[in-house]
Amino acid sequence: MIGKSSNEESQLCFSYSKQKNLHRSTSSRAIAVQLNGAIQRFKQDLKNLRSSALALSRDFQHQCKNYLYQVLTAVQKIQLQNEFLQEFQTNAFELEQSLQEVNEKYQKEKEKRRVLHNSLVELRGNIRVHCRIRPVLHFDTASAESSSHDRYKKFSEKVAYATDDETVLVKCNRPGHALVNKTFQFERVYSAVESQETVFADVSPLLTSLLDGYNVCIMAYGQTGSGKTYTMLGPQSKEDFTLPVETEPGLGIIPRAAEEIFSLTSTWKVAYAPDCGFLINAFSRL
């Protein structure tokens, strides 16, 4: 009995050891399988990570190349702009020097013109006396027609003539005296047919002297009805003594001079504003 029990115990121990080894082998195999799967997953993740790293590296290199190209392009543009700016500054400096030289020449020529112009005015005479034979105006004719026949005949008869640009012939015909012709000399004589524009053309150079800093005076002298207002302002009626503002051939010296002064001051670089005044007096012989 004892021997039989020992054999059974040995068999039981062997079976237990065998089952235990089998269990261990099965557990090791399962662990090995799990470990192998984890290793495979790790390898796959490592492969994916490597692929992502390579793609990221290639993308980074591509972006770096693009950025580098953009930076080089911007640098080239800046260099071109700097060259253009330097060239522009050089041209501007040369142009400024040329403009300064032209301005200096202009100032010299302007001074020469001023001296020559005023020398010419002085040669023509600083004080000049012009004589104008006033044309017959419409209200003169109306006044004469309302008078007696004899007075109208005397009124319509010419007693003063401009024989040339410097001589006036006056008929002196007084009752009880013989007819006498007298001549008078002036720097300039205007006949009755000469226009307001012709008169202004002879005095307009004085406006240039005015803007050059010289004192200028234009004075109309004569008795009432001799034509002072007509020459200085233009045609006026006895009922309406207003200065015509519209541009017309009949404008006198004052409106023409004012317009000319404004025109000259707007085109010239005048260093000062001229002080101009207009004074109208009526002289009568009693």
Among 169, 194, 219, give the residue marking a domain's end. 194
Residue 186 is given by DSSP the state: -
Q: What is the CA radius of gyration of the chain?
A: 59
Res 167: pLDDT: 92
Strand partners, 119: none
Res 285: pLDDT: 36
Res 33: pLDDT: 80
Among 194, 212, 244, give the residue marking a domain's end. 194
Report if residue 102 sits inside a domain.
Answer: no
Domain identity same for 182 and 239: no
Regarding pTM above 0.75, the answer is no
The domain that contains 231 carries what CATH number? 3.40.850.10
Q: CB of 136 within 8 A of CB of 192?
A: yes
Res 141: pLDDT: 61
Domain identity same for 187 and 230: no
Q: CB of 131 within 8 A of CB of 189?
A: yes
Domain identity same for 216 and 265: yes
Beta strands in the chain (DSSP E): 130-132, 160-162, 167-172, 180-185, 188-190
Res 184: pLDDT: 93
Q: CB of 117 within 8 A of CB of 208?
A: yes
Report if residue 3 sits inside a domain.
Answer: no
Strand partners, 225: none
What six digits make up the tokens of 157?
């008869």
Domain identity same for 167 and 250: no
Mapped onto helix, strand or coil, the DSSP state of residue 278 is coil
Look-up: residue for tokens 């007693």?
159
Cα diameter, the chain: 211
Report if residue 183 sits inside a domain.
Answer: yes
Domain identity same for 262 and 251: yes
Select from 231, 239, 164, 168 the least CA-distant residue to 195: 231
Overall domain count for the chain? 3
Q: CB of 131 within 8 A of CB of 194?
A: no
Domain identity same for 278 and 203: yes
Res 161: pLDDT: 85
Beta strands in 54-179 (DSSP E): 130-132, 160-162, 167-172
- pLDDT tens-place string over residues 242-270: 555 555 778 889 999 888 888 888 776 65
What six digits make up the tokens of 40?
């495979």
Rounded distance between C-alpha atoms, residue 201 and residue 204, angstroms: 5
- pLDDT tens-place string over residues 169-179: 988 877 777 88
Report if residue 110 sits inside a domain.
Answer: no
Mapped onto helix, strand or coil, the DSSP state of residue 95 is helix
Rounded distance between C-alpha atoms, residue 150 and residue 180, angstroms: 21
Rounded distance between C-alpha atoms, residue 69 and residue 55, angstroms: 21
Please give the residue range of the domain that contains residue 137: 129-194
Mapped onto helix, strand or coil, the DSSP state of residue 167 is strand
Residues in binding site for ATP: 222-229
Report if residue 106 sits inside a domain.
Answer: no
Residues of the chain with pLDDT under 70: 1-16, 18-25, 135-157, 237-247, 268-286
Q: How many C-beta atoms lie closer than 10 Å to residue 229's C-beta?
A: 19
Report if residue 111 sits inside a domain.
Answer: no
Domain identity same for 22 and 58: yes
- pLDDT tens-place string over residues 113-149: 777 877 777 777 778 899 998 766 666 665 555 555 5
Cα angle 127-128-131, degrees, rounded to a multiple of 5: 150
Residue 37 is given by DSSP the state: H
Domain identity same for 208 and 141: no
Estimate to the nearest angstrom the gap between the alpha carbon of 144 and the chain centroid.
57
Among 159, 194, 229, give the residue marking a domain's end. 194
Domain identity same for 92 and 17: yes
Domain identity same for 214 and 178: no
Rounded distance between C-alpha atoms, residue 128 and residue 93, angstroms: 51
Burial class (CB in 10 A: 0-12, 13-18, 19+), 226: middle
Res 113: pLDDT: 78
